[in-house]
Structure formats: C-alpha cells, structure tokens
Amino acid sequence: MKALRHTFLAAGFFLVLFLIQGGLAHAQYAWEQQGLRYNSLDANDTPGTFILKRDTPAGTAGSGIPQGDYLIEDYSQSCWDKTFDYNGQTKTFTIYDGRGPSEDLQFLGAGQIIVKERLPENSDASGVYEVDGTGIYRYGSHAIPHYITDAMEYFLESGEGVTFSSTVPGDGSWRNFSVRRNIRQTSASNEPRYILINANNSHEWVAFTYDDSNGVFTMYNACSGDEPYAYRRFREDGALENRDLNGTGSPTGVSVRQADGIYLDQYNRNYIQKYITDGMLLFLDNID
C-alpha cells in the first residue's frame, strides 16, 4: 500500500512537471473547434457572417501552412504571391492560398478553364471559365486573376525559372512576376493560432496568435504568410494600439473605436476592417 501510494505521488509529480514544461500548450476552449459565429462587415463594408475558431489547416502537423512546389512571386511585394502544384498526368494545377490548397484548375483549350473549388463554401465558384477580350477567365461574377493564368501558361511552355509581366486584380496595374521552385517556410511559433474567416467566402480571413502575458495579438494574413503583418493590443481605455510590420495594413499608431464600432486611426483616415476588430474583441470575451 505504501509503495502504491508512492507510485501515485510520483505519477502526480511528473504530471505537474509535464504541465509546467508545456505538455499542454494552451488552455483548451470549448468553442475552438466548432467556432463562434458573429455578424460584422467584410472588407467591402458588406454585412456578413464570420467565424472565430482555432486555425488547424489539414496536413500542417504543426510545421506551417501547406504550400505548393512552385511559387508565383510578385517582385514588388508579396501580397499577390501564390504557390501551386502541377500534376502532369491529369494536367491539373492546384493553387494554394494562405491556408492550404484552395482550388484545382485545368486548361480545356478553346479559351476555357475548368475550376473546382476545394472548400464547400466556395462551391459557387466551381465551373467552366471562359476567356474574355482582356485575357481574363470569367465564370459569372467570378474571375481568375490574370497573373495566375499567365503564370500557368508560362509554366506549361517553359517550366520553372520564367519571368513575365501581367496585371493584378483591383486597379489592373502591371507587375513583374517570376515562377520558380518554392522554398518552403515553416512557422517558428508554437502558440495556438486562431482564425477569423468569412463563413461564405473562405478566401477572406485573418489569423492571429495571442500572448496572454501582455495582451498582444500577432496578426497574419494571406499576404504575410508565416510572417506577421502587425502587432496589436487593446488598451484599458478601449483604444487599439497597432504596429504595422510590412506596410500592407493600417499604419502604426493608435485607433479609437467610433460609434459605429469601427476603429479609426488618429488621423481619421485609416481604419481596421470591422470583422477583424469585432473578432478580436469576441476572442477576448471568450478566453476568461
């Protein structure tokens, strides 16, 4: 009996030691897997439903976000960078976004591409796209960025190591790109990562880790990849401190919440997208 008691005491000691040394990396919250839904405004200020949940992309095994074998690289900045795989037997391109494989594309000839979205919430974008007079492939209201289809065509003609010029969505500006073998990066952070994602458009998202010791959010998006684009922290007076890291987000400074819930910077010119700040506040409300 005495020996058994010592066994239990020893087991208890090592369990405590295991926990202290990080056997449990973080507190598990009941909502992490299923997620918390909330209503907010998307990047275009359109009302929508978003989900806050633990970010666990399939196949990462804790070593970073899945990436393709090849990289389409924008020489001017990384926001348009994409990785892809190519299956020579099926002649299929798999395009990756910042969370993993997102869609499969295959040239059909005669100015057509068939697209199959990987995620159910984007299924309305699956279909046969036809090229228009500007060289952009369209299917209803959906379009494939011109630089991506150009990269696919150059890859089929010349393989990796090509450079080319093409246009990007939005302002249609011309950029210089290259297609090369991808050197995979892995995240060095062991912190749990959470995502704020549009329930009806999985391409619209940001992710973050949170340091409970200082209240700092480390922010990630599709442009930043495994490198953060901002550090943010809510002050006791409700203002939001923001430190921009790569010039793609709201400028460094302090943003104040307005009557409509939007955080404007000190110059009242720039704001952080509402679904992001709403999701960050929702996270803080549900970790105590």
210-230 per-position pLDDT tens digit:
998 889 999 988 777 678 889
What pairing do the DSSP bridges indicate for beta strands 142-143 and 36-41? unpaired
Q: Classify residue 206: in a domain, yes or no.
A: yes
Over residues 258-271, the mean pLDDT reads 83
| Dist. CA 190–CA 192, nearest whole Å | 6
Q: How far is CA 225 from CA 74, 105, 258, in A?
A: 14, 22, 30
Q: Classify residue 92: in a domain, yes or no.
A: yes
Are 85 and 152 in a shared domain? Answer: yes
Task: Encode burial over 267-283: b for 16+ CB neighbours within 10 A, e otherwise.
Answer: eeebebbbbbbbbbbbb
The DSSP-derived string for 105-158 is EEEEETTEEEEEESSGGGGGG-EEEEE-TTS-EEETTEE--HHHHHHHHHHHHH
Is pLDDT above 80 for 185? Answer: no
Residue 124 pLDDT: 93
Q: Classify residue 14: in a domain, yes or no.
A: no
pLDDT in tens, 22-76: 433 455 677 887 899 999 999 889 999 999 999 865 433 334 678 899 999 887 7
Residue 9 pLDDT: 34
Residue 248 pLDDT: 66
Last residue of a domain, one of 112, 147, 181: 181
Residue 243 near residue 217, CB atoms below 8 Å: no
What pairing do the DSSP bridges indicate for beta strands 240-244 and 253-257? antiparallel
| Dist. CA 51–CA 197, nearest whole Å | 5
The model's confidence at residue 131, banded by pLDDT at 50, 70 and 90, is very high
Q: Classify residue 15: in a domain, yes or no.
A: no
Between 181 and 15, residue with greater pLDDT? 181
Is pLDDT above 50 for 13? Answer: no
Q: Classify residue 273: in a domain, yes or no.
A: yes
Q: Classify residue 192: in a domain, yes or no.
A: yes
Are 276 and 191 in a shared domain? Answer: yes
Helix (H) or strand (E) holding 74: strand 70-74
Supply 235's token pair: 């002050």
Are 85 and 172 in a shared domain? Answer: yes
Are 159 and 240 in a shared domain? Answer: no
Average pLDDT in the chain: 83
Are 45 and 79 in a shared domain? Answer: no
Q: Which domain holds residue 236?
A: 28-60+186-285
Residues near 45 by Cβ (< 8 Å), separated by ≥ 6? 274
Helices (H), the chain: 2-20, 146-158, 274-285
- Positive or negative, the Cα torsion across 280, 281, 282, 286? positive
Residue 74 pLDDT: 86
Nearest to 59 by CA among 72, 50, 68: 68
Last residue of a domain, one of 155, 181, 207: 181
Q: Classify residue 9: in a domain, yes or no.
A: no
Last residue of a domain, one of 181, 201, 236: 181
Are 194 and 147 in a shared domain? Answer: no
